[in-house]
Amino acid sequence: MAAEVRSVAHEEVHTSTGLSNAKLGMWAFLASECLLFGALISTFLLYRGREVSGVTPQQVYDIPYTSVSSFVLLMSSLTMALSVAAIRRGDHYQTRVWLMTTALLGMVFIGGQVYEFTRFVQEGMTIKTNVVASSFFTLTGFHGAHVTGGILMLLSLFAMSLDGRLPTERGEAVELVGLYWHFVDIVWIVIFTVVYLIPAPTPG
Protein backbone atom coordinates (compact mmCIF):
# COMPACT_ATOMS: atom_id res chain seq x y z
CA MET A 1 0.00 0.00 0.00
CA ALA A 2 2.68 2.44 0.99
CA ALA A 3 4.46 1.75 -2.26
CA GLU A 4 1.30 2.65 -4.11
CA VAL A 5 0.98 5.89 -2.26
CA ARG A 6 4.33 6.82 -3.69
CA SER A 7 3.19 6.33 -7.25
CA VAL A 8 1.66 9.74 -7.54
CA ALA A 9 0.17 10.51 -10.93
CA HIS A 10 2.56 13.25 -11.89
CA GLU A 11 5.58 11.22 -11.03
CA GLU A 12 4.69 8.30 -13.20
CA VAL A 13 7.66 6.87 -14.93
CA HIS A 14 5.80 6.59 -18.21
CA THR A 15 6.07 9.78 -20.18
CA SER A 16 5.42 10.12 -23.87
CA THR A 17 9.01 10.97 -24.64
CA GLY A 18 10.74 8.96 -21.97
CA LEU A 19 12.30 12.13 -20.63
CA SER A 20 11.34 13.26 -17.18
CA ASN A 21 8.91 16.13 -16.85
CA ALA A 22 11.28 18.04 -14.64
CA LYS A 23 14.04 17.92 -17.20
CA LEU A 24 11.78 19.02 -20.03
CA GLY A 25 10.45 21.78 -17.81
CA MET A 26 13.97 22.94 -17.07
CA TRP A 27 14.79 23.04 -20.76
CA ALA A 28 11.67 25.05 -21.48
CA PHE A 29 12.59 27.43 -18.67
CA LEU A 30 16.12 27.85 -20.01
CA ALA A 31 14.70 28.52 -23.48
CA SER A 32 12.70 31.32 -21.93
CA GLU A 33 15.81 32.57 -20.16
CA CYS A 34 17.63 32.70 -23.49
CA LEU A 35 15.15 35.31 -24.67
CA LEU A 36 15.50 37.21 -21.39
CA PHE A 37 19.26 37.48 -21.76
CA GLY A 38 18.87 37.94 -25.48
CA ALA A 39 16.82 41.07 -24.89
CA LEU A 40 19.21 42.35 -22.22
CA ILE A 41 22.23 41.77 -24.43
CA SER A 42 20.44 43.44 -27.36
CA THR A 43 19.82 46.47 -25.19
CA PHE A 44 23.49 46.63 -24.34
CA LEU A 45 24.55 46.16 -27.96
CA LEU A 46 22.19 48.93 -29.03
CA TYR A 47 23.59 51.37 -26.52
CA ARG A 48 27.23 50.47 -26.02
CA GLY A 49 28.55 52.75 -28.76
CA ARG A 50 26.38 55.74 -27.91
CA GLU A 51 27.98 59.08 -27.46
CA VAL A 52 27.17 59.93 -23.86
CA SER A 53 28.47 62.14 -21.13
CA GLY A 54 30.07 60.61 -18.05
CA VAL A 55 32.08 57.48 -17.45
CA THR A 56 31.34 54.41 -19.59
CA PRO A 57 32.19 50.79 -18.79
CA GLN A 58 34.81 50.70 -21.54
CA GLN A 59 36.77 53.37 -19.64
CA VAL A 60 36.79 51.65 -16.26
CA TYR A 61 36.75 47.92 -16.63
CA ASP A 62 39.80 45.81 -16.10
CA ILE A 63 39.86 42.96 -18.59
CA PRO A 64 42.56 40.83 -16.88
CA TYR A 65 40.67 41.02 -13.57
CA THR A 66 37.36 39.99 -15.10
CA SER A 67 39.08 37.30 -17.17
CA VAL A 68 40.24 35.67 -13.95
CA SER A 69 36.79 35.74 -12.41
CA SER A 70 35.33 34.44 -15.68
CA PHE A 71 37.82 31.57 -15.52
CA VAL A 72 36.67 30.81 -11.99
CA LEU A 73 33.08 30.65 -13.16
CA LEU A 74 34.03 28.40 -16.06
CA MET A 75 35.85 26.06 -13.71
CA SER A 76 32.68 25.81 -11.63
CA SER A 77 30.98 24.19 -14.63
CA LEU A 78 33.60 21.46 -14.44
CA THR A 79 33.03 20.88 -10.73
CA MET A 80 29.28 20.90 -11.34
CA ALA A 81 29.72 18.17 -13.91
CA LEU A 82 31.81 16.20 -11.42
CA SER A 83 29.03 16.49 -8.88
CA VAL A 84 26.44 15.18 -11.34
CA ALA A 85 28.73 12.29 -12.21
CA ALA A 86 29.22 11.52 -8.51
CA ILE A 87 25.53 11.28 -7.71
CA ARG A 88 25.01 9.09 -10.76
CA ARG A 89 27.52 6.67 -9.27
CA GLY A 90 25.78 7.02 -5.92
CA ASP A 91 28.86 8.59 -4.32
CA HIS A 92 27.24 11.04 -1.94
CA TYR A 93 30.42 12.24 -0.31
CA GLN A 94 31.91 13.28 -3.65
CA THR A 95 28.59 14.79 -4.66
CA ARG A 96 28.68 17.03 -1.61
CA VAL A 97 32.33 17.94 -2.12
CA TRP A 98 31.75 19.05 -5.68
CA LEU A 99 28.47 20.78 -4.89
CA MET A 100 30.21 22.84 -2.26
CA THR A 101 33.17 23.54 -4.51
CA THR A 102 30.85 24.74 -7.24
CA ALA A 103 29.00 26.97 -4.80
CA LEU A 104 32.29 28.39 -3.50
CA LEU A 105 33.56 29.10 -7.01
CA GLY A 106 30.26 30.80 -7.73
CA MET A 107 30.67 32.87 -4.59
CA VAL A 108 34.17 33.88 -5.65
CA PHE A 109 32.71 35.06 -8.95
CA ILE A 110 29.95 37.01 -7.21
CA GLY A 111 32.45 38.47 -4.77
CA GLY A 112 34.49 39.59 -7.74
CA GLN A 113 31.45 41.19 -9.31
CA VAL A 114 30.57 43.00 -6.10
CA TYR A 115 34.14 44.31 -5.88
CA GLU A 116 34.08 45.34 -9.53
CA PHE A 117 30.77 47.19 -9.16
CA THR A 118 32.03 48.96 -6.05
CA ARG A 119 35.14 50.09 -7.85
CA PHE A 120 33.10 51.36 -10.81
CA VAL A 121 30.89 53.37 -8.52
CA GLN A 122 33.94 54.84 -6.84
CA GLU A 123 35.29 55.81 -10.22
CA GLY A 124 32.09 57.67 -10.95
CA MET A 125 30.06 55.19 -12.93
CA THR A 126 26.70 54.39 -11.42
CA ILE A 127 23.57 52.98 -13.00
CA LYS A 128 22.36 56.56 -13.41
CA THR A 129 25.44 57.95 -15.13
CA ASN A 130 24.38 57.31 -18.71
CA VAL A 131 22.61 54.76 -20.82
CA VAL A 132 25.72 52.65 -21.44
CA ALA A 133 26.27 52.35 -17.71
CA SER A 134 22.57 51.64 -17.16
CA SER A 135 22.59 48.76 -19.61
CA PHE A 136 25.94 47.46 -18.35
CA PHE A 137 24.80 47.26 -14.74
CA THR A 138 21.43 45.83 -15.66
CA LEU A 139 22.85 43.10 -17.88
CA THR A 140 25.68 42.01 -15.60
CA GLY A 141 23.52 42.53 -12.52
CA PHE A 142 20.83 40.23 -13.92
CA HIS A 143 23.48 37.64 -14.59
CA GLY A 144 24.86 38.04 -11.08
CA ALA A 145 21.37 37.53 -9.66
CA HIS A 146 21.08 34.33 -11.66
CA VAL A 147 24.42 33.07 -10.33
CA THR A 148 23.29 33.95 -6.81
CA GLY A 149 20.10 31.97 -7.33
CA GLY A 150 22.21 29.08 -8.54
CA ILE A 151 24.41 29.28 -5.44
CA LEU A 152 21.31 29.10 -3.23
CA MET A 153 20.17 26.01 -5.11
CA LEU A 154 23.60 24.39 -4.75
CA LEU A 155 23.68 25.10 -1.03
CA SER A 156 20.17 23.68 -0.63
CA LEU A 157 21.24 20.52 -2.42
CA PHE A 158 24.27 20.33 -0.18
CA ALA A 159 22.12 20.68 2.92
CA MET A 160 19.64 18.11 1.66
CA SER A 161 22.43 15.69 0.92
CA LEU A 162 23.87 16.12 4.42
CA ASP A 163 20.41 15.52 5.79
CA GLY A 164 20.14 12.31 3.80
CA ARG A 165 17.31 13.68 1.72
CA LEU A 166 19.14 13.48 -1.57
CA PRO A 167 19.20 9.77 -2.29
CA THR A 168 20.62 8.46 -5.53
CA GLU A 169 17.17 8.03 -7.07
CA ARG A 170 16.50 11.74 -6.61
CA GLY A 171 19.82 12.54 -8.18
CA GLU A 172 18.01 14.22 -11.02
CA ALA A 173 17.72 17.30 -8.81
CA VAL A 174 21.50 17.69 -9.05
CA GLU A 175 21.32 17.23 -12.79
CA LEU A 176 18.64 19.93 -13.09
CA VAL A 177 20.60 22.43 -11.05
CA GLY A 178 23.57 21.46 -13.19
CA LEU A 179 21.67 22.33 -16.36
CA TYR A 180 20.81 25.69 -14.91
CA TRP A 181 24.37 26.27 -13.76
CA HIS A 182 25.88 25.43 -17.15
CA PHE A 183 23.36 27.72 -18.81
CA VAL A 184 24.32 30.62 -16.56
CA ASP A 185 27.97 29.94 -17.37
CA ILE A 186 27.37 29.92 -21.10
CA VAL A 187 25.47 33.16 -20.84
CA TRP A 188 28.44 34.64 -19.04
CA ILE A 189 30.74 33.65 -21.89
CA VAL A 190 28.48 35.58 -24.26
CA ILE A 191 28.24 38.57 -21.92
CA PHE A 192 31.98 38.63 -21.29
CA THR A 193 32.65 38.55 -25.02
CA VAL A 194 30.10 41.19 -25.89
CA VAL A 195 30.73 43.55 -22.99
CA TYR A 196 34.46 43.24 -22.43
CA LEU A 197 36.15 41.74 -25.45
CA ILE A 198 34.51 43.11 -28.59
CA PRO A 199 35.36 46.79 -28.91
CA ALA A 200 32.37 49.09 -29.23
CA PRO A 201 31.90 50.83 -32.56
CA THR A 202 32.96 54.43 -32.44
CA PRO A 203 30.03 56.77 -31.95
CA GLY A 204 28.56 58.43 -34.96
Partner 1 sequence: MATVVVEPTVAERPWFLRRPRATTGWVSWLTTVDHKRIGVLYGVTSFAFFLIGGLEALLIRLQLARPNGRVLSAEAYNQVFTMHGLTMIFLVVMPLSAAFFNFLVPIMIGARDVAFPRLNAFSYWVFLAGGLFLYSGFLLGGAPDGGWFGYAPLSVRLPGPGMTFYALGLLILGISSTVSAINFAVTIINLRAPGMSLMRMPVFVWMTFVVSFLLVFALPVLAVGLVELFFDRRFGTHFYNPAGGGDPILWQHLFWLFGHPEVYILILPAMGIVSEVLPVFSRKPLFGYPVVVFSGIAIGFMGWGVWAHHMFAVGLGPVANSAFALSTMFIAVPTGVKIFNWLATLWGGDIRFRTPLLFALGFIAQFIVGGLSGVTHAIVPSDYQQTDTYYIVAHFHYVLFGGAIFGLFAGIYYWWPKVFGRMLSETIGKWHFWLMVVGFNLTFGPHHVLGLQGMPRRIYRYAPNMGWDLWNFLSTVGAFLIALSVLVFLANVVWSWRRGRTADPDPWDARTLEWSIPSPPPPHNFDRIPVVRALDDFWHRKYAEDREGRLTPVVAGGAQAPEASAGPGAHERSEGDEQASSEYGSSGHASTGAEHGSGRHGIHMPSPSYWPLVTALGLPVLCYGLIYSAALAATGGLILLAGLYGWVTEPVAE
Least distance in Å: CB of 99 to partner 1?
15
200: CB partners within 8 A, 6+ apart: 48, 49, 58
Stretch that binds partner 1, among 1-9, 72-80, 88-96, 112-120 (CB under 8 A): 1-9
With beta carbons less than 8 A apart as the criterion, state whether 33 and 183 touch.
yes
**Rounded distance, CA 46 to CA 174, Å?**
37
172: CB partners within 8 A, 6+ apart: 20, 22, 23
* Binding-residue pattern over the window 138 to 167 for partner 1, x denoting contact by CB under 8 A: x---x-------------x--------x--
Contact call for residue 131 and partner 1 (CB under 8 A):
yes
Window 13-52: residues binding partner 1 (CB under 8 A)? 14-17, 19, 21, 24-25, 28-29, 31-33, 35-36, 38-40, 43, 46-47, 50-52
Contact call for residue 100 and partner 1 (CB under 8 A):
no
Find the Cα–Cα–Cα–Cα dihedral 143, 149, 154, 158, rounded to 10°.
Answer: 160
SS3 127: coil
Pick the closest to residue 179 from 69, 39, 81, 75 (CA basis): 81
Which residues sit at the interface with partner 1, rule CB under 8 A?
Answer: 1-2, 4-11, 14-17, 19, 21, 24-25, 28-29, 31-33, 35-36, 38-40, 43, 46-47, 50-52, 127-128, 130-132, 134-135, 138, 142, 156, 165
